[in-house]
């Protein structure tokens, strides 16, 4: 048993930083000394939703050091530096066996729980819910081994924390899903963590035109720094018209917000045979499309975590970062302490910054 510090959300939109009990890892689980955690829209969505089961410790983009391992754990050991991957997976189903753990449905059974359906977190003997079997807005976390990816220990924790979900979803959209090649044209709608990841990856493969669309001028300036060849401020200009004027159409559009109007726009800007990669959300909002668009042989693909194989792709991205081919420093816009989580959520809601990370001091 460990007394840890965690941000506990008791009801929609409010949380307190308090002492919580965390039980030891069970078989195939790992105890993590959390050092940094990305702040993601998925956290904010759960934070404000009345469909979330409270109380809960959110956080699903963690990075840290392995403190201890449960029995049967073979891939990491105490002292290893690790990235915590967002999606729980079973390892046994046909999807997991094919290297497509992002399609594993086990995560649906883990809502608020660990893989075995129980909880490790409690507060005054009352169970506290988990989030993506991770709950990394906390000084320590118990996480399934399959979600723990060892990384080079020279990697700063706040950079590691960018690789567990959002940014990797954008990187994978370009490299795994669309497989963009040198010279092909790309438009990215929404330049938060996912969109910035898409622009970084498009730049790394030397895409021909990389068009960034966002509502925030400062964000767009950063996108230019990391490889965008053209930026469009959608608060002032209709992006579909602007892209038409600039290049006619693009080979690939990456919708990185998950909102109906940008989904429609991203499909409208691709040319014949083009591909639109759409970031999924848990919302059930309908989208409106002109059926005629499909007569030009377009492809529309849903983006779930960039079709990432965490143990294959994350080490690859780490090497690219270390070689100077992936400027992750440029998109890490803010660092917060855990008692400043409110400020981090506020910035996220207002669209300020690109990616922020909560840091924890190393324990005694
Ligand atoms: Zn995330
Ligand atoms: Zn599975």
Ligand at shortest distance from the CA of 93: 2
Ligand at shortest distance from the CA of 46: 1
User: Measured in angstroms, how far is the CA atom of residue 61 from the centroid of ligand 1?
Assistant: 6
Pick among 3.20.20.70, 3.40.50.620, 2.30.110.10, 3.90.180.10: CATH of 2-161+327-359: 3.90.180.10
User: Measured in angstroms, how far is the CA atom of residue 324 from the centroid of ligand 2?
Assistant: 34
Domain(s) labelled CATH 3.90.180.10 in the chain stretch across: 2-161+327-359
| Of residues 118, 123, 119, the one with CA closest to residue 15 | 123
For residues 5 and 8, give the distance between their C-alpha atoms in angstroms, rounded to a whole number: 9
pLDDT at residue 9, rounded to an integer: 97
User: Residue 266 in contact with residue 242, Cβ under 8 Å?
Assistant: no
294 three-class SS = helix
Domain(s) labelled CATH 3.40.50.720 in the chain stretch across: 167-306
Ligand at shortest distance from the CA of 62: 1
Please list the pLDDT of the chain residue by residue as tens digits (364 residues). 999 999 999 999 999 999 999 999 999 999 999 999 999 999 999 999 988 999 999 999 999 999 999 999 999 999 999 999 999 999 999 999 999 999 999 888 788 999 999 999 999 989 999 999 999 999 999 999 999 999 999 999 999 999 999 999 999 999 999 999 999 999 999 999 999 999 999 999 999 999 999 999 999 999 999 999 999 999 999 999 999 999 999 999 999 998 999 999 999 999 999 999 999 776 778 888 889 999 999 999 999 999 999 999 999 999 999 999 999 999 999 999 999 999 999 999 888 889 999 999 876 5
Q: Could you tell me which CATH number the domain at 167-306 has?
A: 3.40.50.720
For residues 8 and 341, give the distance between their C-alpha atoms in angstroms, rounded to a whole number: 11
User: Measured in angstroms, how far is the CA atom of residue 206 from the centroid of ligand 1?
Assistant: 26
Ligand at shortest distance from the CA of 107: 2
User: Residue 200 in contact with residue 274, Cβ under 8 Å?
Assistant: no
Ligand at shortest distance from the CA of 100: 2
Ligand at shortest distance from the CA of 37: 1
User: Measured in angstroms, how far is the CA atom of residue 39 from the centroid of ligand 1?
Assistant: 7
pLDDT at residue 107, rounded to an integer: 83
Count of helix runs (H) and strand runs (E) in the chain: 12, 18
User: Measured in angstroms, how far is the CA atom of residue 102 from the centroid of ligand 2?
Assistant: 8
134 three-class SS = coil
Ligand at shortest distance from the CA of 43: 1
């Amino acid at each position: 048993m460990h007394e840890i510090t965690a941000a506990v959300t008791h009801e929609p939109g409010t949380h307190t930083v308090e002492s919580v009990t965390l039980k030891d890892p069970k078989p195939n689980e790992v105890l993590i000394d959390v050092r940094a955690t990305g702040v993601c829209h998925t956290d904010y969505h759960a934070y404000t939703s009345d469909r979330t089961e409270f109380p809960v410790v959110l956080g699903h983009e963690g990075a840290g050091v392995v403190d201890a391992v449960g029995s049967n754990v073979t891939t990491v050991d105490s002292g290893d530096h690790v990235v915590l991957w967002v999606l729980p997976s079973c390892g046994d189903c046909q999807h997991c066996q094919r290297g497509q753990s992002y399609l594993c449905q086990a995560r649906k059974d883990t809502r608020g729980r660990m893989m075995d359906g129980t909880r490790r977190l409690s507060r005054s003997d009352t169970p506290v819910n988990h989030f993506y079997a991770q709950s990394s807005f906390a000084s320590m976390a118990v996480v399934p081994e399959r979600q723990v990816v060892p990384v080079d220990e020279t990697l700063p924790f706040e950079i590691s924390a960018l690789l567990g979900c959002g940014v990797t979803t954008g990187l994978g959209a370009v490299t795994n899903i669309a497989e963009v090649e040198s010279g092909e044209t790309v438009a990215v709608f929404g330049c938060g963590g996912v969109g910035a990841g898409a622009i970084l990856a498009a730049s790394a493969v030397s895409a021909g035109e990389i068009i960034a669309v966002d509502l925030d001028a400062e964000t767009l300036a950063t996108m230019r720094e990391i490889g965008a060849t053209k930026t469009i401020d959608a608060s002032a200009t209709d992006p579909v018209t602007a892209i038409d004027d600039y290049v006619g159409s693009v080979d690939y559009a990456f919708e990185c917000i998950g909102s109906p109007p940008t989904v429609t726009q991203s499909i409208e800007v691709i040319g014949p045979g083009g591909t639109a990669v759409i970031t999924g959300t848990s919302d059930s909002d309908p989208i409106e499309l002109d059926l005629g668009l499909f007569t030009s042989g377009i492809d529309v693909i849903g983006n779930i975590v960039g079709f990432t194989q965490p143990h294959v792709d994350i080490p690859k991205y780490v090497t690219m970062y270390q070689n100077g081919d992936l400027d992750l420093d440029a998109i890490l816009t803010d660092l917060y302490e855990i008692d400043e989580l409110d400020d981090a959520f506020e910035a996220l809601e207002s669209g300020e910054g690109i990616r922020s990370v909560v840091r924890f001091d190393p324990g005694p």
